[in-house]
Amino acid sequence: MTHFLDIDSTAPTDLRAILDCAHEMKQARQGRTKATPDDGRPLDGRMVALIFEKPSTRTRISFDVGVRQMGGQSMVLSGKDMQLGHGETIADTARVLSRYVDLIMIRTFEEATLQEMADHATVPVINGLTNRTHPCQIMADLLTFEEHRGPIAGRKVVWSGDGNNVCASFIQAAGQFGFDLTFTGPQTLDPEPVFVEAARAKGAKIVIERDPLKAVEGADLVVTDTWVSMHDPQSARERRHNQLRPYQVNERLMAAAKPDALFMHCLPAHRDEEATNAVMDGPNSVVFDEAENRLHAQKAIMRHCLGV
């Protein structure tokens, strides 16, 4: 069974094959309308369940469109309507769904829910986001970087802000793809040490630097994310803003990175909070390429899981 649960649980050769497949599939679609099927319709005859316990725009639409372009069929399910983990155990839901569908994508809160689904499903399971990691986003980000700047190996990535679930997957990717990552943010929002140590054990240079201007020196890529994540209480909003304001990605910060450093944000963005309008819409921003590449990267992930 080939699940896609995290960056660090997928072999580096498989991660590279997924990126190469995504690039080839994207190139093959040049000039086609959005609903035109891919050559060969690799998901023809396949049914994919898309489960959402959290609100979603990019993940929902990109997975749904991706399944359709590959000739498959999708069903979008609400975790709330399914009473996931309440009216029925996660394990039993996994067993039942496996009788109906060929692939499950789940966007959920707790990592344990994802793992229990994978442990008991007899079809592949994809992590569409948990509170701890967001591997599909990082595959899209790496595809985007390499489209613009070539191989990510040996490059310097700087994450500015909250060491959240997207940051965690970026750190895992540093270990798997061989690039350096510097985190800059307040100590209370540091990424989990287990992610940092695991990447370092694989040879990646992971640095914690409190001074954002110093952190971005020599950076090939600067990344940030919203200051308050979906799973954070809104009561934390004012405190988070006070903590993270020094780590805003603005023109001054980008000027301290390499002149051709790219800027990424997984969206949705709170403009003029974590990043200024000038950076979001500036010449080094590739945020909408990232959004598009969710589609292409996830199509390659689905093909990897199904072996088609």
Active-site residue numbers?
Answer: 107, 134, 137, 225, 266, 294
Cα radius of gyration rounded to whole Å, the chain: 19
Residue 29 near residue 37 (C-beta atoms within 8 A)? no
What CA–CA distance (Å, rounded) separates 176 from 76?
31
What CA–CA distance (Å, rounded) separates 153 from 290?
19
What CA–CA distance (Å, rounded) separates 266 from 163?
14
For the residues of 39-96, what is the DSSP string, one character each? TT-TTTT-EEEEEESS--SHHHHHHHHHHHHTT-EEEEEEHHHHTBTTTB-HHHHHHH
Cα-to-chain-centroid distance, residue 265: 11
What CA–CA distance (Å, rounded) separates 173 from 16?
11
Which residues sit opposite 249 in a β-bridge? Answer: 275
